[in-house]
Amino acid sequence: MCRDVDGSTYRLEMGRLTTSTSVMGGGWLVWLVDLTSEVAIEAQRASMLSFLSHDMKAPQTRALALIDAQQEPENALPEASFYEQVELSLRMSLGMINDFIGLTRAKSFRFEHDFILLEDLVMEVLDQVRPLACSKRIEVSSEFNHEDGAPVLGDKGYLARAVFNLIENALKYGRENGRVQVCVSADEQWATLEVIDDGVGIADSDIERIFEDFQRSDSANIAKGHGLGLALVKAVAEKHGGSIVCKSKLGEGSHFTLSLPACPLD
């Protein structure tokens, strides 16, 4: 197999030139078979199997280990701590399952296109993430710069999930006592959500792949996600005719920009 400068994968094949009655002396036919889609599908399949066999099993295995240890007096945790740890593992597992289902549906589901004010949706999500922000003592500031509320046409449930994932991601990777900025703006073409944190940041080599299925940044060895949240954001953005981009510098935070087609009011 070989690759071209654009990253496409090919298999080189060749055979003798022949007619119906004879072989043409010294003649060979050489051609390339495009395997790009097959290679991409196989890579995604391998990543998904790794996710199912490792990431998704890990919290369930941990819960079972806690239960086994709890039956041995010398290893048992205090009852309150035991239930807390088991609940944490089970909630993590359930979150992975929900994200996996959500991503799969986001890629194949036919979205509704209702009239939505992006500013209202973002404010609802900010209320949901407030407990996480408080637990890490992160200041969340919001800025809304459109007098009409930044209207868009879209599926409210999926857009809310995408916005939630972006802001939650900023809080999870943000530093304690840090700051997260959430800004909504719009012009004639686009309604835009910007989420800016001052956390660990993302290495240049990771930025391109953080939106791929089952991928995540391992910057500073503190990866806490399971590689589905940002993939879902990308799937939802693209289904709505929009985009998601990230600018980041390791150790200095990240700046995510979600752009959606604006909906004219007249």
Identify the CATH number of the domain in which residue 175 sits: 3.30.565.10
Average pLDDT over residues 216-225: 44
Looking at residue 208, what is its pLDDT?
Answer: 76
In which domain, by residue range, is 222 found? 114-261
Residues 168-190: pLDDT tens digits? 989 988 888 999 999 999 998 99
Sorting pLDDT into bands at 50, 70 and 90, what band is 247? very high
3-state helix/strand/coil string of 252-264: CCEEEEEEEEECC
Helix (H) or strand (E) holding 244: strand 243-248
**Of all residues in the chain, what percent carry a pLDDT higher than 90?**
33
What pTM, to 2 d.p., does this model score? 0.67
**Dist CA 75 CA 179 (whole Å):** 40
69: CATH: 1.10.287.130
Burial of 253 (0-12, 13-18, 19+ CB in 10 A): buried
**87 and 154 both lie in a single domain:** no
Query: Could you give the maximum distance between any two Cα atoms of the chain, in Å?
Result: 86
Q: Are both 86 and 126 inside the same structural domain?
A: no
- Structure tokens given for 102: 């959500």
The pLDDT of residue 224: 46
In a domain, 32, yes or no: yes
**Cα dihedral 236→87→169→177 (10° resolution):** 160
* Residue (of 156, 149, 146, 150) closest to 114 by Cα position: 156
pLDDT single digits (tens) 68-101: 999 988 888 999 999 988 988 888 787 777 777 7
